[in-house]
A and B are shown apart, each in its own frame.
Chain A
């Protein structure tokens, strides 16, 4: 498919790529992004801020003399672009690397892709958008009551019109629309407070609000928070016990314990001083071979799929012009695939898995996740509880973190219930703690449920920080014989 030239930004991209080649760049790529971002922030029903911004810019990355450099400009003139190109070529030469950087050979296309949107958010009036918040606020007050003291909502609607080109044949025009809602709620009951961070989002238009019943979802979580604050009690388990986690908790575990260590740039040390490295680095000698290293039990399959259009990390071509595909990171418990950009694919002597993403026109693309999830299994949710004598069901979480090699993780439960004699009880457990290694979680999984739920996340990586839209979720799963710490 031929991409038509539509505006100055497109012309500049094509001119910049040619100009860089003529001036000594062995590789050059240019990205023009016209971004429209609209967001609403409200606290307890009152507007904190409404913002509509539009930005335009071109980012250029080159390889020259084996060194890489990146620059950007928001002054979209030929002269400025030439200056930017000449500067980045000069910068690349200053790297003076012993090992020149090369990119993997890939097939490129001239093509277009768009997020499937039914109702453009720009077509919805400000009054209608505020009406959504008004209804939520009214219902939160009525249904969750006075205990829900603090209700912070942030709705962001972002639309990127992008044109990407490199000097190896890629010309890709895309329009990507992401809508996301972040809630931060505090409930207070008898001097005890609990807090909930809620992330929801999709690569959709305004239709997402109604199709996904976002209003109901917020209300359900608000009520759950109030109930947890009022009723959850600290509980001492006779460890080890069995734990069932929801799609939400499965998602953060798959993202942190599987997705991040699968990033090839971390494995080979490029994020050493920032997001850190990966425990995968020590798992094999020589070339990476799929299916040789056990990460989880046989029933664990973790997928990262940018092509799933329902989710927030949707894309069909990455920011290096490589066609996206689902990545089965763990297949039947075995390490199967990695998240690669072209630089690290070359080092692994394979093809890119199209995981290169840049947050904005003025950021270099990095190896990133998209939509990471625990692939559904065969179990009904009730079946997961059936043979547990005493255990924990963790439905949502609060505090979490993981070491920078992505092995020692901690997940503190928020909405959590006691499982007793094979059944889920209504007894809520206060802040149970799962402080487990990646192997400790995934090698003890013995059953995976049928469902799928994937909350929104803003995944941070890089320096300067690049927070890209992702989703993370999947199916419920059961972890056998692990220690559950007592929350206070």
Chain B
């Protein structure tokens, strides 16, 4: 069935008829493709059509979450009365404190679709092969990667009449080139617009191969304290972990290191980060959140100070109450980040109403990557990619992560040696406090290790702890 305002209204009305007071309905029609490749050939092509509807129905603090596949009026009519029959006796949720009451209108949604996306399947395999070929021409032995693209229609309607239907599209590709088994490099492209897309694929193949080429003849790195230059990919993961913690639920669950840092300086003056659902190229952009609050940028870190957590209406009320109890202050408001779905990881764990980031956007700094390298007079390590970030303690921010692909030792302002088999074992807050330079170029990163779309430059951090495994 086509996603329509009528279907959304029918669902909201039926929930109210069955005794719900607040209702949020989100329906999504998704048409996504994927190409996976390795050993310089396409391994598999995939297509997914999904048509789902998530519903939150409440009565006081009694909350029921429903998910309906391939929603249609008869199916919705069959499921909702049964599911909401005992709504008033559902356990009370401590996290539910209401949704947006004010009615909003939306003048003009930003264009989030490149209409070429519908025909992209005809060209995508050739572009993937062009990326592979461009890498091989630099000298790669083999090339692996993944390309996703898709178009989505999202419909939102609340019991207060907020919401609407909008469409969006995206693409993202990770390409990893190997000169030999241990000399590899990776590049990422991500966005909405397919303009000049072929040249972006070719460039990504080349960039990944150039890193792999530099990584050849790598030697075991030495443990110690170094200044470290984090590529946008690595910075997106490590700083993303920090900023992702600016979320009341993460703080309540004990998996945030910034719980006690609101209003405090956690980085240098030139570190400014926002959540921005209005970014035209942002894969996470939307015109309004799940409660129908119009999208707007929210500063999270401003001039190095943690200024905001991301809220929905419920968490804003909880924080206002806690603020009143602790400091006699009230007034926390939703930042328009309400979402309905998985809290932690897509496909795993509880699903409910919670604040979710859209796109993290870092302000550019004033250094090019080359300048960061040239200005490194102390031994410095340049990390181009990483994975497997894990914590000893989330609240402290004590973690380690493993560099992969090219890592390079810089001495006297020049890259001297490809190094490998090292680990960054440090602390998120210490790293944030020790930022010494921020790059000028701000690409969008989204891949395996950076789930929230993130516009982020290279970031240089002083005095990081590098460790190694012994035999």
Contact = CB atoms under 8 A, between A and B. Distances in A.
Interface of A: 39, 41, 43, 46-51, 53, 55-57, 67-75, 84, 87-88, 91-92, 94-99, 101, 130, 149-150, 152, 154, 184, 186, 193-195, 268-274, 276-277, 281-282, 359-360, 362, 364, 398-405, 407-410, 412, 431, 435-437, 439-440, 458, 463-465, 467, 482-483, 485, 487
Contact of A195 (B34, B69, B393): B393
Contacts of B470: 435-437, 440, 482-483
B352 A270 contact: no
Nearest to B467: A435
Contacts of A55: 67, 69
B41 A48 contact: no
7 contacts: A46-B93, A71-B48, A95-B125, A195-B254, A274-B448, A399-B392, A404-B404
Nearest to A485: B467
A154 B393 CA distance: 19
B46 A69 contact: yes
A95 B34 CA distance: 12
B91 A50 contact: yes
B423 A49 contact: no
B420 to A, nearest CB: 9
Q: Which of A97, A399, A436 is most buried by chain B, counting CB atoms within 10 A of its CB?
A: A399
Interface in B444-471: 448, 467-471
B220 to A, nearest CB: 10
Nearest to B399: A399
Interface string B371-408: 00000000000000001111111111011111010000
B382 to A, nearest CB: 18
B70 A273 contact: no
A69 B345 CA distance: 26
Interface of B: 34, 36-39, 41-51, 63, 65, 67, 69-70, 90-95, 121, 125, 142, 144-146, 174-176, 178, 181-182, 186, 252-255, 345-352, 387-396, 398-402, 404, 421, 423, 425, 448, 467-471
Contacts of B252: 43
Contact of B390 (A84, A97, A152, A401): A401
Contacts of B142: 269, 272
A399 B44 contact: no
Given A184-B255, A269-B38, A91 B45 contact: yes
Contact of B174 (A74, A273, A401, A435): A273
Q: Which of A49, A67, A150 is most buried by chain B, counting CB atoms within 10 A of its CB?
A: A49
Contact of B423 (A48, A268, A269, A435): A435
Given A47-B92, A72-B48, 17 more contacts: A46-B92, A48-B350, A68-B44, A149-B254, A186-B395, A193-B395, A195-B394, A195-B395, A273-B176, A274-B146, A399-B390, A399-B400, A401-B402, A402-B402, A408-B423, A463-B34, A482-B470
Contacts, number: 229
A412 B93 contact: no
A383 B42 CA distance: 53
B347 A401 contact: no
Contacts of B350: 39, 41, 48-49, 51, 154
A465 B346 contact: yes
Contact of B65 (A49, A72, A73, A463): A49
B186 A403 contact: no
Contacts of A398: 391-393
A24 B400 CA distance: 50
A463 B400 contact: no
B94 A272 contact: no
A459 B387 CA distance: 15
A57 B45 CA distance: 19
A283 to B, nearest CB: 11
Q: Which of B34, B46, B67, B468 is most buried by chain A, counting CB atoms within 10 A of its CB?
A: B46
A73 B49 contact: yes
B88 to A, nearest CB: 14
A282 B39 CA distance: 16
B125 A410 contact: no
B45 A404 contact: no
Nearest to A435: B469
Contacts of A436: 469-471
A94 B45 contact: yes
A205 B391 CA distance: 32
Contact of B93 (A48, A268, A272, A399): A48
Contacts of B34: 463-464
B51 to A, nearest CB: 7
A97 B41 contact: yes
Contacts of A410: 400, 423, 425, 467, 469
Contact of B146 (A130, A273, A437): A273
Contact of B468 (A71, A84, A405, A435): A435
Contacts of A482: 470
B399 A74 contact: no
Contact of B469 (A70, A400, A409, A431): A409
Contacts of A268: 39
B181 A281 contact: yes
A96 B254 contact: no
A272 B393 contact: no
User: What are the 7 tightest A-B residue pairs by CB atom distance, in nearest-first order?
Assistant: A272-B144, A41-B350, A91-B45, A401-B388, A273-B144, A49-B350, A408-B469
Contacts of B186: 273
A282 B47 CA distance: 35
Contact of B253 (A43, A87, A92, A362): A43
A129 B85 CA distance: 19
B125 A96 contact: yes
B423 A99 contact: no
A487 B145 CA distance: 37
B398 A399 contact: yes
A414 B44 CA distance: 42
Q: Which of A48, A72, A273, A483 is most buried by chain B, counting CB atoms within 10 A of its CB?
A: A273
Contacts of A87: 47
Q: Which of B44, B387, B468 is most buried by chain A, counting CB atoms within 10 A of its CB?
A: B44
Given A39-B350, A193-B396, A130 B51 contact: no
B46 A71 contact: yes
Contact of B402 (A98, A273, A408, A467): A408
Nearest to A458: B348
Contacts of A49: 63, 65, 93, 95, 350-352
Contacts of B404: 276, 403-404
Q: Which of B346, B391, B392, B421 is most buried by chain A, counting CB atoms within 10 A of its CB?
A: B392
A271 B395 contact: no
A452 B233 CA distance: 41
Q: Which of B90, B402, B468 is most buried by chain A, counting CB atoms within 10 A of its CB?
A: B402
A47 B348 contact: no
A276 B186 CA distance: 12
A53 B421 contact: no
B47 A51 contact: no
Contact of B39 (A88, A269, A440): A269
Given A88-B47, A270-B38, A483-B470, A184 B253 contact: yes
B149 to A, nearest CB: 13
A98 B393 contact: no
B423 A193 contact: no
Nearest to B394: A195
A364 to B, nearest CB: 6
A191 B395 CA distance: 11
Contacts of A402: 388, 402
B63 to A, nearest CB: 8
Contacts of B388: 401-404
